[in-house]
Amino acid sequence: MASRSTKSPLQSIIMDRAARKSLQTQVFDQVRGAILSGQLSPGTRLPATRILASDLHVSRNTILGAFERLHAEGYIEGLAGSGTRVSNILPEELLLARNRSRVPSGDAVPAGKLSRLSQISTLNNPQNRHRPGPARAFRPGLPDLSQFPFQLWGQLVAKSWRNPPTDTLLAGEMEGYFPLRQSISDYLGAVRGLHCAPEQVLITSGAQQALDLIARVIIDPGDKVWLEDPGYHGLRSTLQAAGAKIYDIRVDEEGICVKRGRKQAPDSVLAAITPSHQYPLGTTMSLTRRLELLDWAKTSNAWILEDDYDSEFRYAGKPHLALQGLDQSQRVIYVGTFSKVLFPALRLGYMVVPAPLLTSFTAVRASIDDYPALALQPALHRFIDDGHFASHIRKLRKLYSKRQQTMINALQQHAAGCLIASPTQAGMHLVVRLNRACGFDDKQISDRAAKAGLIAPALSRFYKGKHSSQGLVLGYAGLSEQEVNLGVKHLAQLL
Amino acid sequence: MASRSTKSPLQSIIMDRAARKSLQTQVFDQVRGAILSGQLSPGTRLPATRILASDLHVSRNTILGAFERLHAEGYIEGLAGSGTRVSNILPEELLLARNRSRVPSGDAVPAGKLSRLSQISTLNNPQNRHRPGPARAFRPGLPDLSQFPFQLWGQLVAKSWRNPPTDTLLAGEMEGYFPLRQSISDYLGAVRGLHCAPEQVLITSGAQQALDLIARVIIDPGDKVWLEDPGYHGLRSTLQAAGAKIYDIRVDEEGICVKRGRKQAPDSVLAAITPSHQYPLGTTMSLTRRLELLDWAKTSNAWILEDDYDSEFRYAGKPHLALQGLDQSQRVIYVGTFSKVLFPALRLGYMVVPAPLLTSFTAVRASIDDYPALALQPALHRFIDDGHFASHIRKLRKLYSKRQQTMINALQQHAAGCLIASPTQAGMHLVVRLNRACGFDDKQISDRAAKAGLIAPALSRFYKGKHSSQGLVLGYAGLSEQEVNLGVKHLAQLL
């Protein structure tokens, strides 16, 4: 009988009635697997559907459905009359010998096979990047989430999805949701002194995407770039991925030394700087230096990337306006983010692009990521225009200023003589200097802190050149005063 | 008197009480402007704050505040006693001669100055890309938004923001929100026949970001790549931006001709294909061809990019499983998107990456875009796991299948003999062939349609090689049956 002669190769079929997969799919998968693994060779006759159904205790329709699919995909031939056989058209040498495990392991592909990846993929090591993580003492750059008005935010988000702009859902706005671009342009004009029309504002997925976009629009392999030394590591790999040749230009108390830059690489195409609040030093670029830099960019046709990453938090009441507002030659590309004021996973940042570059930026953006998600843009627009953004900043400013003072006091109390902190007028972290007399190296302390569960990046690690300073970069914004106190006490015990 | 001798240069200050800017900022801006424009030269004495306040009818504190800021930023010197003067430290040659307009025009920078942009920025022309736009007959690939349950969606989104996962808001999950990755992996395993663990699923900002990521992880300048001919233009510029050398491999009714590819560029590192529903032809890759391609990838250490862009809509009940499920050598990188089922501005896509490549992908992603926004991921996870996704697909499938039939009927009624449509088993568009006897060229018809407000891309424009077919690519999914009928009638009148 047909059933007997062909039953054996399909005996291994097992029906799992608790599985998510339908019974039909289970039959299909297992017969296909048997064919591909060579268990069922080409030409082999399959059991009659009626018999298989009864063997497996499933309905005949289940088997018929599975066989129809196997037939449609070319695994089996002849559904009626003469019986069903494993297809002969399968090139035998292509049939695969082994079954694979459901969850492939990382070791399954020999290392040599992975060699065919790009150079870029070897540049980036996520471990090296200064990424946000859980709020722990003293991770820099994290906001205090307990202060965020989630109730209100949830209402704004829900409202924006109740009647979403249908056209925008289908078409998307390449540069971002226009009303939000308008809110940002108003805010930047009034508070940061930028000169910009809403049309120049592009919404990005956080500042990092803006940095990547700039790298791609500006940099060709071999192009020279000035970075601040010390500076932000996250930017380095992005620029390197675009093929930039990086020159680390020393930063002094006035900001990046333009004269050194002019000497080391006068023909750079880009200078990336943090003029409002140098990262990590916390200093503000002087007016003279700003004008010098603008003059260099103008005369050498170079671009300036102004990263205004945490300018919202200035405590001493004298906000230094953005460099962009001083630029009369359209050489400054300004980058800002909502990660620091609201929360990092919002992934909404923005850039202000000189008008003549707008077309290039939107064109490159199209091939990277089409356009920004509508998701929370309308809600954020309302959040800003209804004044919640400004009042949230005011609240945080007061809070963070107090926390900075708490940290300075705690350092004086517990680590006086070894860790020297002076107040800064802005930001979310302190740079604490090391007293050399104490005989410690900052990397040593930082590593010791890491072992004790504290995050205290060594200042010298932010430097690339020979001249580095010793110190620790300690975030305070996201920590309660108690956490600041306990953390500092803990840190002092390690010295 | 001091007021008289120094009043004149500041006479031009105008207070605008209706402006968004504070009065203090207005004073600051205008004095700074006068200094930078040279109206107030270094050393010039400024009027006493008391007198200026009275002249401008503002409080003295307003003037004091503005002067303090000017002082802090280095524009003026000496706030007390001997009087306030314009700073002498400003290097005179850096002072800028003209005022700039508030909205810079695109022409303001001479064309030559823009030459310092990357090669990549000249590759992409957003006009050339097959981007979504408003729903009009017959833009391909657009879903019917009227069917989307926005009420329910709004509730899910609101709920997810009522109690957001605080840790995730601060730290972000590099690969995406884990519960969503799990939902996707379950869905792909059950419905598309993929073999994947949730850990292999990466959330991206739409399929386009996945394509860009793949290009960056895999391609080095000069690397060879197979693209389907005809094929999707959006992928071309992305691969070119990474420096790929593109080989357009002919597609026949079985899919991409692997033998041709082996002949033209056997050492390619990547083959990008649409096996489930070839774009734009709509054919399904045969099993033989699939196995051939997998064999080529395995033996030549190449990668396969499987773009499964609209596989959800199969009407004839025999879904061809994804190529990834056949791959036993971990060479397939699978890309999918929610744009087609839900809506494009959601900007959520996903990729399934062979386990050994995960580290490379997350590392490169970090320097492009950190990690995906939390925004709507938790809501989408619930949408899928609560069954709304599956039922939405079922609803759309019925609707779209009917619309396809409507389009075929309308074509037979209005354009019989000239436009020949045959039903396809899947997708959101039809490829309508041209009867050569009618004497039309498809580009001609497409251009004529465009002038009449209809979107009817010419099939021959999707081809790069010599052998092209004549036809029109007509989307029907996003149009009501009435719109389909009217659109076809309108199109027929143009012939």
A-chain CB neighbours of B157 within 8 Å are 157-158, 161
Q: In B35-74, which positions are buried (b, 16+ CB within 10 angstroms) versus exposed (e)? A: bbeebbebebbbbbbebbbeebebeeebbbbbbbbbbbbb
Structure tokens at A150: 């989630």
Tell me the residue length of chain A. Answer: 495
Determine contact: B33 vs chain A, CB below 8 A: no
- pLDDT tens-place string over residues B143-180: 898 889 999 999 999 999 988 888 888 877 889 999 99
Determine contact: A355 vs chain B, CB below 8 A: yes
Cis, peptide link before residue B138, omega less than 30° from 0: yes
Q: Of A87, A190, A321, which has the smallest distance from its Cβ to B21's Cβ?
A: A190
* DSSP codes, B358-416: HHHHHHHHHHHHSS---TTHHHHHHHHHTTHHHHHHHHHHHHHHHHHHHHHHHHHHHHT
- The C-alpha atoms of residue A66 and residue A49 are separated, in whole angstroms, by 10
Per the listing, tokens 């449609």 go with A72
Q: CB-hemisphere CA count at 13 Å for B461?
A: 16
Describe chain B by its helix, strand, coil percentages, rounded to 5.
Answer: 45, 10, 40
Q: Of A158, A291, A373, which has the smallest distance from its Cβ to B94's Cβ?
A: A291
Do the Cβ atoms of A180 and A381 come closer than 8 Å? Answer: yes
pTM higher than 0.90 for the full model?
A: no
Per-residue pLDDT at B94:
47
Choice between B111 and A270, residue whose per-residue pLDDT is larger: A270
Determine contact: B64 vs chain A, CB below 8 A: no
Q: Of B190, B301, B366, which has the smallest distance from its Cβ to A25's Cβ?
A: B190
- Span between the terminal Cα atoms of chain B, in Å: 85
Lowest mean pLDDT among A335-339, B39-43, B97-101: B97-101
Q: Of A36, A169, A221, which has the smallest distance from its Cβ to B343's Cβ?
A: A169
Q: Of A171, A217, A348, which has the smallest distance from its Cβ to B121's Cβ?
A: A217
Question: Which residue does chain B place closest to A147, by CA atoms?
Answer: B166
Lowest mean pLDDT among B136-140, B251-255, B269-273, B360-364: B136-140
Structure tokens at B7: 């009043």
Compute the nearest-CA separation of B467 from chain A (Å).
Answer: 27
Determine contact: B315 vs chain A, CB below 8 A: no
Question: Which residue does chain B place closest to A74, by CA atoms?
Answer: B287
Per-residue pLDDT at B124:
57
- The C-alpha atoms of residue B226 and residue B207 are separated, in whole angstroms, by 19
**In sequence order, what are the beta bridge partners of A201?**
A352
Q: Which CATH number fits domain B145-390: 3.40.640.10, 2.70.70.10, 3.20.20.140, 1.10.3470.10?
A: 3.40.640.10
Per the listing, tokens 């090391």 go with A434
Q: Of A69, A93, A367, which has the smallest distance from its Cβ to B318's Cβ?
A: A69
- The CA angle B73-A269-B237, to the nearest 5 degrees, is 125
Compute the nearest-CA separation of A115 from chain B (Å).
Answer: 9
Determine contact: A75 vs chain B, CB below 8 A: yes
Nearest Cα to Cα of residue A235 among A201, A209, A202, A260 = A209
Do the Cβ atoms of A456 and A429 come closer than 8 Å? Answer: no
Residue B216 pLDDT > 70 = yes
Question: Which residue does chain B place closest to A268, by CA atoms?
Answer: B116
Q: Across the A/B interface, how many CB contacts are shorter than 8 Å?
A: 404
Residue A439's contacts (CB-CB under 8 Å, 6 or more residues apart) are none
- The C-alpha atoms of residue B156 and residue B148 are separated, in whole angstroms, by 13
Structure tokens at B399: 């609707």
B-chain CB neighbours of A73 within 8 Å are 287, 318, 320-321
Q: CB-hemisphere CA count at 13 Å for B36?
A: 21
Q: Would the CB atoms of A212 and B320 count as touching at under 8 Å?
A: no
Q: Would the CB atoms of A118 and B287 count as touching at under 8 Å?
A: no
Per-residue pLDDT at B207:
92
Lowest mean pLDDT among A164-173, B70-79, B110-119, B190-199: B110-119
- The C-alpha atoms of residue A477 and residue A494 are separated, in whole angstroms, by 23
Q: Would the CB atoms of A126 and B362 count as touching at under 8 Å?
A: yes
Per-residue pLDDT at A81:
59
- The C-alpha atoms of residue B411 and residue B402 are separated, in whole angstroms, by 14
- Span between the terminal Cα atoms of chain A, in Å: 85
Give me the architecture of the A394-494 domain, per CATH: Alpha-Beta Complex (3.90)
Per-residue pLDDT at A350:
97
**Boundaries of every domain in chain A:** 2-101, 145-390, 394-494
**Average pLDDT over every residue of B205-217:** 93
Do the Cβ atoms of B420 and B433 come closer than 8 Å? Answer: yes
Per-residue pLDDT at B110:
42
Does the B2-101 domain belong in CATH 3.40.50.300? no
Question: Which residue does chain B place closest to A169, by CA atoms?
Answer: B345
Q: Are strands A201-204 and B332-337 parallel, antiparallel or unpaired?
A: unpaired
Residue B106 pLDDT > 50 = no
Q: Of B119, B163, B374, which has the smallest distance from its Cβ to A345's Cβ?
A: B374
Q: Would the CB atoms of A319 and B360 count as touching at under 8 Å?
A: no
Residue A102's contacts (CB-CB under 8 Å, 6 or more residues apart) are B195, B197
- The C-alpha atoms of residue A169 and residue B134 are separated, in whole angstroms, by 9
Per-residue pLDDT at A361:
93
A-chain CB neighbours of B216 within 8 Å are 118, 120-121, 241
Q: What is the DSSP letter of B82?
A: T
What single-letter amino acid sits at B350? Y
Question: Which residue does chain B place closest to A320, by CA atoms?
Answer: B73
B-chain CB neighbours of A172 within 8 Å are 131-132, 344-345, 347
Determine contact: B201 vs chain A, CB below 8 A: no
Strand stretches in A315-452, DSSP E: 332-337, 349-352, 419-420, 429-434
Q: CB-hemisphere CA count at 13 Å for A397?
A: 17
Q: Would the CB atoms of B104 and A354 count as touching at under 8 Å?
A: yes
Kindly report the backbone phi and psi dihedral angles of residue B106, in degrees, each rounded to the nearest multiple of 5, phi listed first: -65, -20
Q: Would the CB atoms of A161 and B145 count as touching at under 8 Å?
A: no
B-chain CB neighbours of A137 within 8 Å are none
Kindly report the backbone phi and psi dihedral angles of residue A456, in degrees, each rounded to the nearest multiple of 5, phi listed first: -140, 75
**Range ranked top by mean pLDDT from B27-36, B163-172, B389-398:** B389-398
Tell me the torsion sign for CA atoms A474, A466, B370, A211: positive
> ipTM value of the model?
0.80
Tens of pLDDT, residue by residue, chain A (495 residues): 333 333 456 777 888 887 777 888 888 888 887 887 667 777 888 888 888 888 888 998 888 888 888 877 778 887 665 678 888 766 444 444 333 333 343 433 443 445 578 887 777 554 444 444 555 789 888 889 888 999 999 999 999 998 888 888 887 788 999 999 999 999 998 888 899 999 999 999 989 999 999 999 999 999 999 999 999 888 898 999 899 999 999 999 999 999 999 999 999 999 999 999 999 999 999 999 999 999 999 999 999 999 998 888 888 755 678 999 999 999 999 999 998 899 988 999 999 999 999 999 998 988 888 889 999 999 999 999 999 999 999 899 999 999 999 999 999 999 988 999 988 888 999 999 998 888 889 999 999 999 999 999 999 999 998 888 899 999 999 999 999 999 999 999 988
Q: What is the DSSP letter of A137?
A: T
Q: Would the CB atoms of B206 and A21 count as touching at under 8 Å?
A: no
Q: Would the CB atoms of A217 and B161 count as touching at under 8 Å?
A: no
Determine contact: A42 vs chain B, CB below 8 A: no
Q: Would the CB atoms of B355 and A119 count as touching at under 8 Å?
A: no
Tell me the torsion sign for CA atoms B405, B408, B409, B410: positive
* DSSP codes, B142-183: ---GGGS-HHHHHHHHHHHHHS--HHHHHH--TT--HHHHHH
Helices B150-162 and B377-385 sit at what angle, rounded to 10 degrees?
120
Compute the nearest-CA separation of A416 from chain B (Å).
Answer: 30
Determine contact: A366 vs chain B, CB below 8 A: yes
B-chain CB neighbours of A217 within 8 Å are 117-118, 120-121
Nearest Cα to Cα of residue B334 among B195, B224, B181 = B195
Per-residue pLDDT at B353:
97
Q: In B335-344, which positions are buried (b, 16+ CB within 10 angstroms) versus exposed (e)? A: bbbbbbbbbb
What 3-state DSSP class applies to B60? helix
Please compute Rg for chain B using Cα positions.
31
Per the listing, tokens 């909205």 go with B103
Q: Of B91, B189, B205, which has the smallest distance from its Cβ to A205's Cβ?
A: B205
- The C-alpha atoms of residue A343 and residue A337 are separated, in whole angstroms, by 10
**Average pLDDT over every residue of B422-429:** 88
A-chain CB neighbours of B368 within 8 Å are 208-209, 212, 238, 368
Q: Of A150, A163, A193, which has the smallest distance from its Cβ to B164's Cβ?
A: A150
Do the Cβ atoms of A308 and A322 come closer than 8 Å? Answer: yes
Do the Cβ atoms of A356 and A303 come closer than 8 Å? Answer: no
Stretch 398-457 of chain B: residues touching chain A, C-beta under 8 Å:
none
Describe chain A by its helix, strand, coil percentages, rounded to 5.
Answer: 45, 10, 40
Q: Would the CB atoms of A370 and B303 count as touching at under 8 Å?
A: no
Determine contact: A175 vs chain B, CB below 8 A: no
> For residue B306, what pLDDT band results from cuts at 50, 70 and 90?
very high
Longest alpha-carbon distance in chain B: 97
Choice between B277 and B136, residue whose per-residue pLDDT is larger: B277
Per the listing, tokens 């920078």 go with B109
Per the listing, tokens 């499920």 go with B325
Determine contact: B38 vs chain A, CB below 8 A: no
Per-residue pLDDT at B358:
93
Longest alpha-carbon distance in chain A: 97
Compute the nearest-CA separation of A123 from chain B (Å).
Answer: 8
- The C-alpha atoms of residue A15 and residue A30 are separated, in whole angstroms, by 10
